[in-house]
Structure 1
Amino acid sequence: MPSRLRFGDDDFLRCRFAVSPIWETQEAVRTLKRPDRHGYHVPWLRRIRDAATTLDLTPLWLLMPRRGHSPDWLGPPPIGPAATFEEEIAAVRASDPEAAREDTAQSLACTPGALESEHGRAWLADPARMVRELADAMEEAWRVLVEPEWHRLRALLEADVAYHSRRLAEVGLGTLLPELDRRLSWDGRTLTLALGIEYVRDLGGQGLVLMPSVFSWPEVITGFEPPWQPTVVYPARGIAGLWTEPGARTPEPLVRLLGRNRATVLAALDEPATTTALAHRLALAPSSVSAHLTVLREAGLLTARRYGHQVLYERTPLGMALTAGQPT
């Protein structure tokens, strides 16, 4: 039972990439309940173990059936290409209570007994209160589970967007879409997703948002109902190295050549990253990282290019060869 997204002429002009902190928060909460998602995230799970015990995630988990509908209003498609969590949670808090009630009832129906549970009855009786309570729960989950690691997560997600944007320019949309995940196929007008669920939607001129995700791994997700923006969520590139400390991967010959900190900065750029993200990940002062990046770029080991309001640094072929210990 495949899912199909059908493109019209205008939809090809309205495809874009986006990153969503509220989506990562929702999926981080879901991951805590899903051992099949733990593989790459064991270091993160250890890190947040004690803090997570301070959260009551039961209300959010009630709306995350193993198979079935999760409320679109609580985990909506991104409102912009680089929206902040504060912007996204404000949009959630502004949800129409009656629309949220209908969406939530559909989700509760996917879990036996949920409609009759204490939470289910209270939410459906007072949807305005439901919106406040669930938005508060999502914001608390963000503060505890995701915000402390957001620099690292955002760097990986933005690196994925940068890579696939470049591939889009090189090969076009029809070739790019199947490259995002093996479960995606393209026939010129229809994107087919082999997800084991049946879902068909005409994009209707809204285009398509392509969103990499860390915590959604290993799943590809779609199915947002109108009026929500059609969106495909796919596993981000580079998740396997996400929680590895960069300093542990710095080759000693590179340290002798460049010095410890400069070599560590170069070795940390397995994927493009910003100065702020690198400084946070490496526990170095941003000014120090910026100085190292400038020297490495002037030496021909890095390139820099702008992505929105930020500058992403990426290794050149020479930089890649040095970190791999291979001759150019």
Structure 2
Amino acid sequence: MDRKVVEFHLAPGDVSAVRFGISPGHELVHAVRVLLRPQTVPLQWGWFRSLEEHRPQEALRLIAVISGIDGYMPDFLTSTPSGDMTPDDELARLREVPDELLRIDLAKMLDRSTGVRHEEIRALREDPPRARARIAAAWEEAWEALLAPVWPQMLRLLRADIGVRVRRIGERGLGEMASTLHSSVTWADGTVSVRMRLHEEVVDCGGTGLVLVPSVMHSGRGCSVLTQRPAQPTIFYPAHGFTETWYRDDGAALEALSALLGRARAQLILELQQPLTTTECAALADLAISTASHHLHVLREAGLVDSRRSGQSVLHARTPLGEALANGR
């Protein structure tokens, strides 16, 4: 099947303005979409099974009505992502969405809906103040039920991903870092291209830069993009280190492994959720590079870590034994 491509053209000023962000709103909408079609995202099954049986059904239904199960979702549900964006910030912004923006985005959803859903969206669009209040209340209820219990784990994954990406820019350049975001992303001559299923577009970033946003809830579904003004051009991509056990609190695992391996080696085993260089391991575990190298050597000798050269760097990854140990199996 032919794939569409969205191209982000970066001028010199855009390159210096590329930044990373975190989007609680994006994560929540995709969490609701996982609930609608859990069979399509097996890596989220553990999180799905961990949810409380009693959920705010009306709140989840309303978000599902306005966001759909796939593809485009209303831009007003997510603000421009930033590194310090909190769920409270997102909710406060949602409560102040201008009437006209809400009408415009809901009109786009009207074009993508039929039947009862179409009529409900039409009614929401005709009364923006009431719609905004209902949507914000539903957002808050859904957040508390779905993501509030696991937000610390999600935030740790997202921040770790950003830390790794920023270091790669410093060590290898923006182009090489961009090409590792996902298999659907390529970089050439100042253009970031993202292969998409349905959408294609050429976006001139126009000196405003490009926002790169790691995602936990969208992992396993490739990348998504935000291209329409006034939103800043944005690429959402799967976070590094995403496994089926992402939702578990690592605190207990760290304590148990520390008793067995020592805290530094236990931390390294838990951080190696994807291949990392020695420098990246050292930074994530807050160790000197020489100390991290020593501990990785010990873990390699014990058969818990495999190390292979990649260009000028050495990449370390957990072996199957290391995976079993890290995941408590």
Q: TM-score range by the shorter chain?
A: 0.7 to 0.9
Whether 1:222 aligns to 2:225 is yes
Aligned to 1:192: 193
Q: Secondary structure at the match of 1:233?
A: strand
Cα pair 2:17 2:209 within 8 Å, conserved: yes
Residue identity in the other structure for 1:35: P
Whether 1:319 aligns to 2:298 is no
Cα pair 1:109 1:115 within 8 Å, conserved: no
Residue identity in the other structure for 2:295: G
> Which of 182, 191, 207 is matched with 2:209 structurally?
207
Q: Distance in 1 between matches of 2:205 and 2:39?
A: 32
Q: Secondary structure at the match of 2:76?
A: coil
Residue identity in the other structure for 2:292: T
| 1:49 to partner: Cα distance | 4.3
1:29-58 residue CA offsets vs partner (Å, 9 max, x unmatched):
111112354311212111114143555311
| 1:255 to partner: Cα distance | 3.5
Q: Distance in 2 between matches of 1:251 and 1:66?
A: 40
- TM-score of the superposition, structure 1-length normalised? 0.78
Cα pair 2:161 2:240 within 8 Å, conserved: yes
Q: Distance in 2 between matches of 1:256 and 1:106?
A: 56
Cα pair 1:8 1:205 within 8 Å, conserved: yes
- Counterparts of 1:1-328 in structure 2, within 5 Å, are 1-52=4-55, 56-78=59-81, 80-113=82-115, 116-117=118-119, 119-196=120-197, 197-218=199-220, 219-240=222-243, 241-243=245-247, 246=250, 255-256=259-260, 258=262, 267-270=269-272, 303=282, 313=286, 316-323=292-299, 325-326=302-303
Q: Once the two structures are aligned, what percentage of the paired residues are identical?
A: 28
Residue identity in the other structure for 1:126: D
Q: Distance in 1 between matches of 2:176 and 2:265?
A: 36
Q: Distance in 1 between matches of 2:248 and 2:88?
A: 28
| 1:166 to partner: Cα distance | 0.7
Q: Distance in 2 between matches of 1:98 and 1:155?
A: 36
1:216-261 residue CA offsets vs partner (Å, 9 max, x unmatched):
1122000331000111000001111414565569997x73554xx8
Cα pair 2:33 2:70 within 8 Å, conserved: no
Residue identity in the other structure for 1:163: V
Cα pair 1:211 1:233 within 8 Å, conserved: yes
Cα pair 2:103 2:125 within 8 Å, conserved: yes
| 1:97 to partner: Cα distance | 1.0
Q: Distance in 2 between matches of 1:183 and 1:36?
A: 22
| 1:111 to partner: Cα distance | 1.8
Aligned to 1:291: none
Q: Secondary structure at the match of 2:236?
A: strand
1:116-139 residue CA offsets vs partner (Å, 9 max, x unmatched):
42x223211101111111111111
Aligned residues: 288
Cα pair 1:63 1:108 within 8 Å, conserved: no
| 1:83 to partner: Cα distance | 1.3
Cα 1:41/1:238, change in 2 over 3 Å: same
Cα pair 2:265 2:295 within 8 Å, conserved: no
Q: Secondary structure at the match of 2:179?
A: helix
1:177-226 residue CA offsets vs partner (Å, 9 max, x unmatched):
11111111122122111112212211111100100000011220003310
Q: Any unmatched runs of 5+ in structure 2?
A: 275-280, 308-329
Q: Any unmatched runs of 5+ in structure 1?
A: 273-301, 306-311
Cα pair 2:74 2:106 within 8 Å, conserved: yes
1:55-82 residue CA offsets vs partner (Å, 9 max, x unmatched):
531111112334543100112331x212
| 1:145 to partner: Cα distance | 0.7
| 1:99 to partner: Cα distance | 1.5
Residue identity in the other structure for 2:97: S
Cα pair 2:7 2:202 within 8 Å, conserved: yes
Cα 1:179/1:58, change in 2 over 3 Å: same
Aligned to 2:278: none
Cα pair 2:59 2:141 within 8 Å, conserved: no
Residue identity in the other structure for 1:42: W
Q: Distance in 1 between matches of 2:149 and 2:68?
A: 27
- TM-score of the superposition, structure 2-length normalised? 0.78
Q: Secondary structure at the match of 1:239?
A: coil
Cα pair 1:178 1:185 within 8 Å, conserved: yes
